Structure 1
Amino acid sequence: MTTITPVRLTRDRATWLIYLQLGTFATYLYGLSAALPMLRIDQGVSQGVAGLHGTSMAVGGILTGLALPWLTRRIGRRAVTWLGLAGMNVGVLLVMTGTTLPVTLAGYGIASGMASITLYAGMAALNDHHGPAGAAAISEANAVGVTVGIAAPFVVSFAAQTALGWRAALLMTPVLTALLALTMGRIWIPERENAAAVAGPESGARFGWRFYVAGTVLLCCVALEFCFNLWAAKLFADQTGLSAAVAATGLTAFTAGLAAGRFTGARLALRVRPAPLLVGALALTAAGWTLFWLSRTPVLSYVGLALSGLGVSLHFPLALSRVLDASGGRADQATAAASIFAGLAVGMGPLLLGALADGFGTQRAFVMVPVLIGLAVGGILVSSR
């Protein structure tokens, strides 16, 4: 792999606040992902209809992505991140207390949309604040987030097997948000720190073709990650005979791989150029997917999901970093556009996979994953020439 001159990542209090905000975000993301198979059973709907929850998440992310530049200019990144966390908890509580499909769809959409503005405002702040080490900071932030979120599928699975039920497990997100606000609520998150970033939103300049190719690569990466998040537990249950509640722990193996990979990736990102590193991560995901897809035993399925998570761990941080690099210093505009690409991915990927699963079975539908990997690698090669 092509190396670069190593740079140093300095973590101050603002950096740690963003890291922990992302950890709270992760409990929502992996908690609702692990809950979806059980929510589908409670509501008695098909896999395709259950996939509409992913579509709702996408719509929420796209709408808030369109509003993010305006919100950031009006109230600043600090207020945006806390506003997003507050709205995210409203959505989680709707899912927790709602039983009908319209209510849970609204809950997934509100939680996703509001969580997205916290995520992308935080990523823009890290990128500007850490300069050349921005990609490493983004990767490490996602590592911290996944490390916190890794417990969510286990907590949901455990609660589902008790008298409390799986819905009680969703309380972990508002509880952690309240604790974070009480302990670190006064820390200031860095605003835009360079002239290009400040001027960018008002300049009206268009992005070049490399930016949109980078956005398409991000779309593919997010789509395949959400295919794992929302449907891996179902395939795990189908192929091993485990119950939906027990199979939800398969996401713990996936998120364990995510956590390990993102901490390692933060160090690699300080030394290896993003393009070859991202291609290597996609290849590792393909290897893990192959093992998981072919496995009929729980142990091998866990290993395949862990390897897949290890590869996926670098997809979002590196793909987002490439979008930011192609933006010409307009971090807030770029992250807003990135949230729209990601929203489209969340909407199309799981919904299409769910529809294919209804028609051809979950295993055949999961062939979407290597297709998305191939498209992402092609986009990287084209834009890196």
Structure 2
Amino acid sequence: MVPRLLARDRLTWLTYAHIAIWGYFLYGFSPVVPLLRDEQHTSRTVASLHGTAFAVGGVLSGLLLPSLIRRFGRARVIWGGLAGVALSAVGLLASHPLAATLTWAVVASTGGGLIVNGVTAVLADHHRDGGAAAISEANAGASAVGLIAPLVVGSGVAAGLGWRPGLAIVAGAAGLVAVLAVVLRVRVPTGPPLETAGGRLPTPFWLVWVSILATGSVEVCLNLWVADALRTHAQVSPAGATAAVSAIIGGMFVGRLVGSRFVLRLPTISVMFAALSLSGVGFAVFWVATVPWLALFGLVVVGLGNALHYPLSMALAVSHSAGQPDLAVARTSYAVGVSFGVAPFLLAAVADRVGPHLAFLLVPVFLVLSAVAIAVLRHRVAAASLVSPLARSR
């Protein structure tokens, strides 16, 4: 197979920066949920409503994206999303009640969804055959920055400053990126005309949608509740467990950075199967571990596998969208939203009854669901490739 090329220009780096800022907020806020549970004196189930809030924001971004792009264009939508994330970071500084933190979570997730979906469509259009690799690299950058976020937040907690100052960094980073974009005159191009609200996406796309639902559930469950599991099963301190989420993110950074090279040389579906398998192996190690070092090693391996779930799924969604990239990424927001809303709430509800360790067995169930969806997709693609030559020969 001839390797595909990936040429990185100023537009590419600008989109990478947008994803990175959202990644810092997302990975910085995720390990905060157990701390909020202690601060607000709630149960795991109630604290998991922050995952539901992220889900609501994700669904809102998917609902709003098509009409916003038609009216304002990709550039304004992406910049508007970044402004929403920055505003949420500032808003959380003075927010302590549950209602307030949930509200800012919705605002941040809505903005983050606009960023991710807009940038994904831009990279897929801009890089064509190298789109999957570009999307993977963009998410690698988000993981690299996200790797720092739990460490910064955890350090603030350990120093007695709390978790809020660590997230406030987002606002400054967003302002810096905006200034650089103006100085360097980097503009986000318009995409192909967006289909009307009644536009239809083909069946292969919906198989990818199911996979995104499943892998999104895996990622959000780990991000929101792995710190709790480390505290209860591997005897890690609260501050250490918060910072230890960086083990997953570190694995994701390496996985996305290295994985982008494989995507340029191997079929996307094959790489996806390998990533799902690696996540399963890493989870098994984490789940049986009773000492910190082994649990952290398992989380690194999980991160290596999880690294490629989202970027590969998004690339598959766009490639199977029948030429409707913006509509496709808008619809994937629903899958991400449902996974963020249902999965952590389900895991937390089970954990309140049997403990977080046993509840985490939901994760391999989600991995299997994703693998089944991708296997059916591969079968349909193979069948279609056989039918097309026959049709042409007639």
What is the CA distance between 1:324 and its match in structure 2?
Answer: 0.9
**Is the aligned partner of 1:54 residue 2:48?**
no
- State the secondary structure of the residue aligned to 1:202: coil
The one-letter code matched in structure 1 to 2:276 is L
**Is the aligned partner of 1:103 residue 2:93?**
no
The one-letter code matched in structure 2 to 1:62 is V
Q: Deviation per CA, 1:136-192, whole angstroms, max 9, x where unpaired?
A: 110011001111111000001000011322211111111211111122244101221
The equivalent of 2:392 in structure 1 is: none
The equivalent of 1:152 in structure 2 is: 149
The equivalent of 2:382 in structure 1 is: none
**Is the aligned partner of 1:356 residue 2:353?**
no
Q: Superposed, which structure 2 residues align to 1:133-212 within 5 Å?
A: 133-185=130-182, 186-192=185-191, 197-198=192-193, 200-202=194-196, 204-212=198-206
**Is the aligned partner of 1:224 residue 2:223?**
no
The equivalent of 1:79 in structure 2 is: 76
1:215 aligns with one of 206, 209, 228 = 209
Cα distance in 1 for residues equivalent to 2:252 and 2:150: 13
Are the equivalent residues in 2 in contact too, given 1:136–1:266 (CA < 8 A)?
Answer: yes
The one-letter code matched in structure 2 to 1:360 is V
2:323 aligns with one of 324, 329, 333 = 329
**Is the aligned partner of 1:236 residue 2:230?**
yes
The equivalent of 1:263 in structure 2 is: 257
Cα distance in 2 for residues equivalent to 1:150 and 1:301: 17
Cα distance in 2 for residues equivalent to 1:121 and 1:202: 17
**Is the aligned partner of 1:318 residue 2:312?**
yes
The one-letter code matched in structure 1 to 2:249 is T
What is the CA distance between 1:24 and its match in structure 2?
Answer: 0.5
Cα distance in 1 for residues equivalent to 2:161 and 2:351: 31
Q: Deviation per CA, 1:202-244, whole angstroms, max 9, x where unpaired?
A: 3844112211111010111111011111011111111122222
Moved more, 208-217 or 117-126: 208-217
- State the secondary structure of the residue aligned to 2:196: helix
2:30 aligns with one of 11, 14, 33 = 33
Q: Superposed, which structure 2 residues align to 1:19-30 within 5 Å?
A: 19-30=16-27
Q: Deviation per CA, 1:67-118, whole angstroms, max 9, x where unpaired?
A: 1011111111111111001111222233332111111111111111111101
Cα distance in 2 for residues equivalent to 1:64 and 1:324: 17
The equivalent of 1:381 in structure 2 is: 375
Paired positions, count: 377
Are the equivalent residues in 2 in contact too, given 1:240–1:296 (CA < 8 A)?
Answer: yes
- State the secondary structure of the residue aligned to 1:253: helix
CA RMSD between the two structures: 1.2
Cα distance in 1 for residues equivalent to 2:282 and 2:306: 10
Q: Deviation per CA, 1:311-331, whole angstroms, max 9, x where unpaired?
A: 000000011111111101101
Larger Cα-atom Rg: 2
TM-score by length of 1: 0.96
TM-score by length of 2: 0.93
User: Identity across aligned pairs (percent)?
Assistant: 37
- State the secondary structure of the residue aligned to 1:287: helix
Are the equivalent residues in 2 in contact too, given 1:221–1:319 (CA < 8 A)?
Answer: no
Cα distance in 1 for residues equivalent to 2:50 and 2:132: 30
- State the secondary structure of the residue aligned to 1:175: helix
Q: Could you list the structure 1 runs, at least 4 aligned residues long, displaced by more than 4 angstroms after superposition.
A: none
Cα distance in 1 for residues equivalent to 2:58 and 2:198: 23
**Is the aligned partner of 1:8 residue 2:5?**
yes
Q: Deviation per CA, 1:111-144, whole angstroms, max 9, x where unpaired?
A: 1111110111001000000001110110011001
Q: Deviation per CA, 1:33-57, whole angstroms, max 9, x where unpaired?
A: 0211111110010101001100011
Moved more, 234-243 or 148-157: 234-243
Are the equivalent residues in 1 in contact too, given 2:202–2:322 (CA < 8 A)?
Answer: no
The one-letter code matched in structure 2 to 1:159 is G
The one-letter code matched in structure 2 to 1:54 is G
The one-letter code matched in structure 2 to 1:177 is A
Cα distance in 1 for residues equivalent to 2:113 and 2:317: 16
Cα distance in 1 for residues equivalent to 2:329 and 2:197: 16
The equivalent of 2:301 in structure 1 is: 307
The equivalent of 2:270 in structure 1 is: 276
Distance 1:203 1:357, change over 3 A: closer
